[in-house]
Structure 1
Amino acid sequence: MKNRLRELRAARRWSQTDLADRLEVSRQTVYAIEAGRYDPSLPLAFKIAAIFAEPIEALFFPDENTDNTP
């Protein structure tokens, strides 16, 4: 899953540690989400959306290389 987390964090001049503290997760978790290596749980995604005052679908979107066909 792709996301805009790094872009939004940088616009606020927050480090990964700053964001991690706000989310109550580790800096490594923030790094993994930004790198697309970890998809956040739904509660964490809602928390991220609330911090950036954006809807979840404006922050996270499917990777074009992923086949989402049922």
Structure 2
Amino acid sequence: MAIDPRTAFGLRLIEIRKAKGWSQERLALESGLARSYLGGVERGQRNIALLNIYKLAEALAVTPGSLMDPPAAK
């Protein structure tokens, strides 16, 4: 069974955020998005909007497409 795209996006976002050594709070401040919203995105509970994907990518200095890459296998 395939992973839900929202869950996959959230896991990938966590990978990139942690690779930078950032907390959710820092990513929230850098992106202008609410920390509680980011928590929901990372848990796969939110259907993130395209504009917010671009805000996160800009804050993390990555391409929007890199946020869509599959998360690393655990």
Identity %: 31
Scaled by the length of structure 2, what TM-score is found? 0.70
What is the Cα deviation at residue 44 of structure 1? Answer: 0.8
Q: Note if contact 2:27-2:59 (Cα within 8 Å) is conserved in structure 1.
A: no
- The number of equivalent residue pairs is 62
* Structure 1 counterpart of 2:55: 47
Match of 1:36 among 40, 44, 52: 44
Higher helix share: 2
| Counterparts of 1:38 and 1:56, CA distance in 2 | 17
Scaled by the length of structure 1, what TM-score is found? 0.73
What is the Cα deviation at residue 61 of structure 1? Answer: 6.1
Aligned pairs (5 A) from 1:1-70: 1=6, 2-3=8-9, 4-60=12-68
Unaligned runs of 5+ in 1: 63-70
Q: Which amino acid aligns with 1:27?
A: R
Q: Which amino acid aligns with 2:46?
A: Y
Which of structure 1's runs of 4+ aligned residues deviate more than 6 A?
none
